[in-house]
Amino acid sequence: MGKNFKRDTVVYQIYPRSYRDSDGDGIGDLRGIISSLDYIASLGVNAIWLSPIYQSPDDDNGYDISDYKAISPKFGTMDDFDELVREAKARGIDIIMDLVINHTSDEHEWFQRALHGEEKYRKYYIIEKGQDGKLPNNWGNFFAECPWTPFGDSTDEYYLHLFSKKQPDLNWHNPDVLAEISDIMRFWLDRGVRGFRCDVINIIYKNTLADGKKRFILTGQEHYLSTDGCHNILKTLRETVLEPYGAWAVGETVFVNLKQARDLCDESRGELDMVFSFEHMEVDQMVVKWFKTKLKPQKLMRCLSKWQGGLDWNAIYFENHDQPRFISRFSDGEGYREKLSMMVAGLAMTLRGTPFVFEGQEIGMTNGDFQNLDEVEDIESHNVYAMAKSLHLPSAYRWRMIQRTSRDNARTPMQWSADEGAGFTTGTPWLKINHNHTEINVERESAREDGVLAFWRYMISLRKSLDVLMDGDFTPLYEGRTVYAYARATRGERVVAIFNMSAKSAKMPKSILCESELIASNYDTVEDTLRPFEFRLVRPLA
């Protein structure tokens, strides 16, 4: 972990279009975030990660950027952004920007100039001729599309896009691309940004465009996952941009194993400060995320312990803008939503690493309640539904896939109040508001001393106040069918975190029974058994 990163950091992720709408157009904006800064500060977080707010045609909700140095009018102005940075800083909160540099929008000036024949900008992208009337290679695509689209009016040239066809991949073999991205990063750092969350950062450098080994998903991945070229780029950005500004970076890293993760974020290598790995988010899937199985707690425990032991420092998250709400993934947990949400707070704040809290997680928001595909905006969901239809999967099954797994589950508007627009907007929201906002909202939770919001605030405060939770070593103690326990220890101080990850009561394992002092729990009393989704943090007295 780089010298510029603080171990007491707790990050709050905001998906701007869903957070708070200040002008009634149904889309969240920067002024809405500014008006919410006191609330955000009250959580105890000290950094905000903003999902993209750049100029964009919104084919992929802002992850298709047409101008890296402009704010989308949907979100406000550059003056609004500068005010956000100032006001956040006044409250001790840093701003982290989303850095999307695997691809641009096809409406970006660079791509448009390439289309108009400027050779310099053709070299910014990966443009290849087909082979004997076929596509340049047999690669797959993250959005279930063909990854090659004809370049302009050409009949034999194609551009590569590992995501939407409106997101052409950049050519990182071209040093001009590195120079452009470095300039963009400095532009935002000069405006007071503290660091970056780097989107799909470990796939930016393609070693070769040769055919890949045929796979069920993403044929060709061996040619671009965590390549040496990617490592060299990250080292250069660290040395020439991040370090001079005292900035830090966390990378979204797809399909990484522990060794690959260490190579990306080990402090001695000088690349990323930490990575978002995915293995713990994939314990309830078969092959790909769209085919879900029941979440087995023991599988989750083993995965968490593996990554805790495998990396010196982890990025701790259970929700973000790309994942369904975590508490909705416990299929038997609906009757215990509040206890389950509090248990996740205990987990997030006691594991070793930097916690990332996603908007609405602190009040226990659940998956969206979409009734049909027309209510879903996510391009990935629509593409996958169409692919499943082409495979003749039953319509009921196709829809169940989308209901459980669509990224829109996490993108429903923030639930501020029980009002018609959930306190999010006075207009028509860009995405359907969950009907349960009448029961689950900030206004209601703020009035409760023993509610979900209060518990998240307490756990964030506790993590920042106890050195053992910030710096302590991690040691797994018990991984049962539903009960999980681990110790954190440093400089003579030791605490034990205990979880029952089930809607059924469970026996306290004898191996962790001892006389202890209770530090935190999501239940008011202590009993011999662990109740549904119970969390305890204790300090052994012996």
Active site residue ranges: 199, 252
CA 362 to chain centre: 15
Residue type, 14: I
Query: How large is the C-alpha radius of gyration of the chain?
Result: 23
Gap between the Cα atoms of 497 and 485, Å rounded: 5
Token duo for residue 381: 């969901």
Max CA pair span of the chain: 76
Per DSSP bridges, beta strands 473-479 and 493-500 are unpaired
Q: Are 358 and 13 in contact (CB under 8 A)?
A: yes
Token duo for residue 439: 């029961």
Gap between the Cα atoms of 483 and 298, Å rounded: 8
Question: Which residues, including other chains, have CB under 8 Å from residue 420's CB and lie 6 or more apart?
Answer: none
Gap between the Cα atoms of 105 and 103, Å rounded: 7
Question: Which residues, including other chains, have CB under 8 Å from residue 39's CB and lie 6 or more apart?
Answer: 442
Token duo for residue 284: 């309830």
Token duo for residue 361: 């997680």
Q: Are 295 and 331 in contact (CB under 8 A)?
A: yes
Token duo for residue 148: 């090659």
Residue 47 backbone dihedrals phi, psi, to 5 degrees: -155, 145
Gap between the Cα atoms of 193 and 520, Å rounded: 35
**CA count, 13 A, side-chain hemisphere, 36:** 26
DSSP letters spanning 468-481: HHHH-EEEEEEE-S
Q: Are 293 and 400 in contact (CB under 8 A)?
A: no
Q: Are 30 and 80 in contact (CB under 8 A)?
A: yes
Look-up: residue for tokens 């920042």?
464
Q: Are 53 and 18 in contact (CB under 8 A)?
A: no
Token duo for residue 32: 């809405």
Q: Are 287 and 281 in contact (CB under 8 A)?
A: no
Gap between the Cα atoms of 271 and 253, Å rounded: 13
Gap between the Cα atoms of 370 and 219, Å rounded: 32
Token duo for residue 163: 């995501």
The DSSP symbol for 337 reads H
**Three-state secondary structure of 394-420:** CHHHHHHHHHHHCHHHHCCCCCCCCCC
Question: Which residues, including other chains, have CB under 8 Å from residue 325's CB and lie 6 or more apart?
Answer: 319, 360, 361, 365, 366, 367, 409, 410
